[in-house]
Amino acid sequence: MNCRHCGAMLHHTFLDLGFAPPSNAYLKAEDLSRPETYFPLKIRVCDECWLVQTEDYARADELFSPEYAYFSSTSSGWLAHARRYTQTMTERLRLAGESFVIEIASNDGYLLKNFVATGIPCLGIEPTASTAAAAEAIGVPVLREFFGEKLGGKLADEGRQADLIAGNNVYAHVPDINDFTRGLAAALKPEGTITLEFPHLLRLIQNNQFDTVYHEHFSYLSIHAVQRIFEAAGLRIYDIEELPTHGGSVRVYGCHTAAPMEQRPDIERVLRLEVEGGLLDLATYQAFQARADRVKDELLGFLLEQKRLGKTVAAYGAAAKGNTLLNYAGVKPDLLPFVCDAAAAKQGQYLPGSHIPILAPHMLAEQRPDYVLILPWNIAAEVREQNRHLSEQGTQFVTAVPQLEVA
């Protein structure tokens, strides 16, 4: 396989999680007796440009189906994050009624609805029908297409270049990252701004977040790699913020190479952190597999011990990261009988691979398990607070990443 950015031959495996179905391919009851599609889940690192990437097996249209069930509005914390972003960007870029905002992968309108409310024209680009329909229902205009250079050029030809292009947790999801980035450049006004938020590879490595590896994530991004990808498309990074979301993310601010924005010093600081964290050292990547295996072994040991003791364990959060963890560990309903999730679109379905049933959150109060395994550890504090009544009744909360913790 060649690197998706620079074309160099890929020789080095970063992580091998065996075979798994796509992490968001939830199953209906009638699907349980049918064959399930599995793909290798292996990621490699390019020692030329340092882009970390999945092996080429699954296509985007196989992963993001019309029934795609991830709805951003499910998390109250993420909704608050979107509101803060809208206010910050409106003030920073002086956005007003004559401005134009594009969000790529606009999901259910969780972010753009804030721009709609303030009268700032906007457009969501979202290929999955289920989430696009939810956005349209609350007044967010949506173009149901995958984004790339062709669509970016079409928007430019139509006079719809943007003052702000937002992309939250989409940059890692695109199979052709060069084409996508050229699309950003085409759809951006000469002095416009791009903001991209994505989980930072540095935090993935530091905090052993191997469960954020799944087929829908084609890339795992460092600033070193993104800087090179931007430059090849005629863009540059002019500012950066470190964020606590998704276990440690970054927000990069991009513009055309010739745009007047001043480059901020935080960029060099984060680049130094990446060097100090070993992101330009192959040994860092080669040592990671053993750390992932330790988490798998700890989780399995805990679940087997609780079963032996006659204790009950349920899970919370039918999240993609949880599916990666459960499928790699080989956990089935005999060890984890059910998972609860607040997203109505997931309730009544089953997790891919493990076939664990997804129930409504009120089932935790009815069943009163001894332990609740929080699979989306990035919102563990929010989940514990929402289920404080369980703690008062003796239920303990468990997270498996970066290591097993029982609270």
* Own/partner pairs, 328-334, CB within 8 angstroms, 24+ separation: 328/17, 328/18, 328/20, 328/41, 328/211, 328/292, 328/296, 329/296, 329/299, 329/300, 330/300, 331/299, 331/300, 331/303, 331/356, 332/356, 333/357, 334/307
**CA–CA gap between residue 34 and residue 352 (Å, rounded):** 12
Residues 147 and 249 in one domain: yes
pLDDT score, position 64: 52
Q: What domain count does the chain have? A: 2
Domain boundary among 254, 285, 316: 285
Give residue for tokens 């276990």. Answer: 247
In a domain, 117, yes or no: yes
pLDDT score, position 163: 98
Residues 193 and 116 in one domain: yes
pLDDT score, position 245: 81
Q: Which two tokens stand for residue 383?
A: 């989940």
**CA–CA gap between residue 289 and residue 144 (Å, rounded):** 38
In this prediction the pTM is: 0.88
Burial class (CB in 10 A: 0-12, 13-18, 19+), 392: exposed
Give residue for tokens 């599609």. Answer: 37
- Write out the residue range of the structural domain in which residue 359 sits: 296-406
Residues 304 and 281 in one domain: no
- 184: domain CATH number is 3.40.50.150
In this structure, are residues 252 and 195 in contact, taking their beta carbons and an 8 Å threshold? yes
10-residue averages of pLDDT along the chain (407 residues): 96 96 93 94 96 76 55 80 96 97 96 97 94 95 96 98 96 95 98 97 96 92 98 98 89 98 96 98 97 97 98 95 96 98 93 97 94 94 92 95 93
Residues 205 and 259 in one domain: yes
- 357: domain CATH number is 3.40.50.720
Q: Which amino acid, one-letter code, is at 210?
A: F
Give the start-end residues of each E strand in 207-337.
219-220, 235-243, 249-256, 313-316
Phi-psi region of 368 (alpha: psi -120 to 50; beta: other; left: phi over 0): left
For residue 22, give every residue at least 6 positions away whose Cβ sits within 8 Å of its Cβ, in sequence order, or none.
37, 39, 58, 62, 63, 214, 215, 216, 352
Other Cβ atoms closer than 10 A to 310: 7
What is Dmax (Cα atoms) for the chain?
Answer: 66
**CA–CA gap between residue 360 and residue 130 (Å, rounded):** 20
